């Protein structure tokens, strides 16, 4: 969990401006800190320099765009993140160990994929028609939430949720929703570097410092009812099969997992997997 709120604020600024030319000075100025002090604090909290963090996110988000946007050319995607055609190919190869980027594109949108959390297992996907029958296009209201931000492995999510709900148990009500907001795709991002927020809906008058509003809007909502280890397969099926073949695009908001029921003893959950679309 991030202990320094300014680092969390800096990450918000970075992800919201990722397709701009962001310098360390820009982020430090946004946080009202000196460049050198901010750089030390950021690396101590994340394990990465500001420059390395920005470069990694550009590479990973561009790969996600390549995965989801069939109509976008590789050159256009590179330009979006500030790279010329030749520079993008070189940077992509160095980060993802695949060259050229077209080779990466051939590995996505297939009916199965390797599973980053379960060795020797393939995640197998349904057809577009099967996903389409189960997905509802829904307008969600804004959520006012208590949140804590994490950078790490999704396998720690259960433990982190337990600690989070215990810490804020006095704010739990009958209609409280537990929400995870995810920023990364663990089929692309190293599983130890996934960024996510653990959240709990709360009254808008809550006086805690770590309260924010998650923007609502149009979402593609898939109701998952099953075992926790199978969530990855369901979510990747939506990203690999349904979204690229639907008439929708993912927009700049981030995905949400809204927990409707949680049985930790039996590893069973009912979750609405919510993908922001336009």
Q: Where exactly does CATH 1.10.10.60 map onto the chain?
A: 5-107
Q: Where exactly does CATH 3.20.80.10 map onto the chain?
A: 134-276
Maximum alpha-carbon separation in the chain: 55
- Predicted local confidence at residue 242, as pLDDT: 95
Place domain 5-107 in its CATH homologous superfamily.
Homeodomain-like (1.10.10.60)
15 phi, psi to nearest 5 deg: -70, -30
Report how far residue 75's alpha carbon sits from residue 269's, in angstroms, rounded to the nearest whole number: 41
Whether this prediction's pTM lies above 0.85 is answered by: yes
**Res 270 pLDDT > 80:** yes
Q: Which helix (H) or strand (E) holds 133?
A: helix 128-134
- Predicted local confidence at residue 108, as pLDDT: 80
Q: Convert the pLDDT of each residue in 21-74 to its tens digit.
A: 899 999 999 999 999 999 999 999 999 999 999 999 999 999 998 888 777 899
Closest C-alpha to 263, from 208, 209, 225: 225
CATH of domain 134-276: 3.20.80.10
Q: Which has the higher per-residue pLDDT, 135 or 123? A: 135
Sheet-wide strand order for 178-182? 135-140, 217-227, 268-276, 255-263, 178-182, 194-201, 143-152, 211-214
Residues 6+ apart with CB under 8 A from 135: 220, 221, 222, 238, 242
Q: Which helix (H) or strand (E) holds 142?
A: none
């Amino acid at each position: 969990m991030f202990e320094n709120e300014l680092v969390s604020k800096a990450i918000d600024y970075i992800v919201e401006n990722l397709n701009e030319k962001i310098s360390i000075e820009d982020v430090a100025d946004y946080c009202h800190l000196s460049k050198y002090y901010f750089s030390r604090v950021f690396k101590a909290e994340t394990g990465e320099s500001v420059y390395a963090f920005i470069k990694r996110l550009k590479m990973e988000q561009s790969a996600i765009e390549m995965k989801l946007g069939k109509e976008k050319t590789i050159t256009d995607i590179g330009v979006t993140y500030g790279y010329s055609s030749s520079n993008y190919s070189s940077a992509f190869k160095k980060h993802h160990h695949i060259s050229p980027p077209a080779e990466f594109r051939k590995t996505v949108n297939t009916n199965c994929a390797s599973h980053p959390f379960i060795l020797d297992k393939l995640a197998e996907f349904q057809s577009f028609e099967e996903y389409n029958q189960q997905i509802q296009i829904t307008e969600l209201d804004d959520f006012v939430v208590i949140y804590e931000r994490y950078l790490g492995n999704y396998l720690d999510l259960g433990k982190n949720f337990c600690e989070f709900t215990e810490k804020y148990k006095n704010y739990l009500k009958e209609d409280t929703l537990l929400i995870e907001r995810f920023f990364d795709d663990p089929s692309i991002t190293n599983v130890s570097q996934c960024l996510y927020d653990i959240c709990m809906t709360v009254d808008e008058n809550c006086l805690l410092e770590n309260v924010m509003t998650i923007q609502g809007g149009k979402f593609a909502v898939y109701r998952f009812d099953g075992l926790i280890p199978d969530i990855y397969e369901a979510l990747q099926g939506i990203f690999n099969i349904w979204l690229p073949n639907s008439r929708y695009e993912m927009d700049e908001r981030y995905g949400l997992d809204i927990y409707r029921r949680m049985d930790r003893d039996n590893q069973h959950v009912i979750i609405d997997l919510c993908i922001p679309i336009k």
